[in-house]
Amino acid sequence: AQSVTQLGSHVSVSEGALVLLRCNYSSSVPPYLFWYVQYPNQGLQLLLKYTTGATLVKGINGFEAEFKKSETSFHLTKPSAHMSDAAEYFCAVRGAGNMLTFGGGTRLMVKP
Amino acid sequence: DGGITQSPKYLFRKEGQNVTLSCEQNLNHDAMYWYRQDPGQGLRLIYYSQIVNDFQKGDIAEGYSVSREKKESFPLTVTSAQKNPTAFYLCASSISGQGVEEQYFGPGTRLTVT
């Protein structure tokens, strides 16, 4: 079985500041990891994914994430927050059975 | 444009009534999924289907039913047996349900039962 923990259900940053959204996972098999973004009353959009290979993954809108096996983490970062980044972010792991397990989500607020 | 459509966007029902949520995709994907989203709980898998005429229960299937008669369509029925049906429902699809491909999501249906 797999699980995902997102530390911090709400994160607030100032425009231009670093964004760091935390994700820790557990998986009984080598994981595939995903970050999705959801804007209000909309579906989820893929930001980036890690499958194999390079542990630093770059995604859309300037986001990136680093897979750290020793820490079972896949934290999402962006060097400089923009107002349009305000949304809810979900980390997900695909483990045994090919099903996605989602974290509880982190709502990012960006202050002007 | 290829994508996933869900209708309606907002749905209101009285307690005790069954209601069916529509999900259609024109991506030619084999696999389709239904998730329920509640505040602070992320997404939880209700049902999934990896091929036409076949589907499996997810983590919270009780009180729900599905059908997969066509590749493009995967409707979800919320029955009166579902104790707390008010939620945001998301449909998704992926190429095959295998491997590392991502899931593509529809815009969701917000169901309110009173």
| CB neighbourhood size of A53 (10 A) | 7
A32, A90, A94 member nearest B43 (Cβ): A90
Let me know: does A19 contact A81? Beta carbons within 8 Å: yes
Residue of B105, B109, B112 to mutate, interface with A, max A Cβ within 10 Å? B105
**Residue A1 pLDDT greater than 80, yes or no:** no
Instruction: Provide the pLDDT for residue A96.
Output: 63
pLDDT band at B98 (very low <50, low <70, confident <90, very high): confident
Sign of the four-CA dihedral B3, B5, B10, B12: negative
Q: What is the pLDDT of residue B9?
A: 93
Predicted confidence band at B41 (pLDDT cuts at 50, 70, 90)?
confident
Rounded distance between C-alpha atoms, residue B70 and residue B87, angstroms: 26
Alpha-carbon gap: A98 to the closest alpha carbon of chain B (Å): 6
* pLDDT beyond 80 at B99: no
| Distance (Å, whole) CA B8 – CA B3 | 16
- Strand B31-37 and strand B43-51: the pairing is antiparallel
For β-strands B64-66 and B54-57, DSSP reports them as unpaired
Spatial contact of B49 and B66, defined as CB atoms under 8 Å apart? yes
Instruction: Say yes or no for a CB contact (<8 Å) between B100 and A43.
Output: no
Smallest Cβ distance to A102: which of B9, B43, B48?
A: B43
Which chain B residue shows the shortest CA-CA distance from A43? Answer: B107
Average pLDDT over residues B47-64: 94
At B109 the pLDDT is 96
Question: What is the percentage of chain B residues whose pLDDT exceeds 70?
Answer: 96
Task: Report the residue of B10, B45, B103, B110 to disrupt the A interface, i.e. the one with the largest count of A CBs within 10 Å.
Answer: B103
Lowest mean pLDDT among A88-97, B43-52, B72-81: A88-97
Instruction: Give the Cα separation of A34 and A101 in Å (integer).
Output: 10
Asked if pLDDT for residue B100 goes beyond 80, the answer is no
Asked whether the predicted pLDDT for residue A98 surpasses 80, the reply is: no
Q: What is the pLDDT of residue A99?
A: 82
The nearest CA of chain B is from the CA of A48 a distance in Å of 9
CB A79 within 8 A of CB A20: no
B103–A contact, CB cutoff 8 A: yes
Report pLDDT digits (tens) over A23-81: 999 987 788 999 999 998 889 999 999 988 889 999 999 999 999 999 999 999 999 99
What digits encode the pLDDT tens for the residues B61-90?
Answer: 999 999 999 999 999 999 998 999 999 999
Token output for A14: 């100032």
Compute the distance between CA of residue B78 and CA of residue B110 in angstroms, rounded to an integer. 12
Q: Does A49 touch chain B (CB under 8 A)?
A: yes
Eight-state DSSP code of residue A98: G
- Look at residue A82 and tell me whether its pLDDT is greater than 70: yes
Rounded to whole angstroms, the Cα distance separating B50 from B94 reads 9
Alpha carbon of B73 to those of A37, A63, B22, B69: distances in Å? Answer: 25, 33, 8, 7
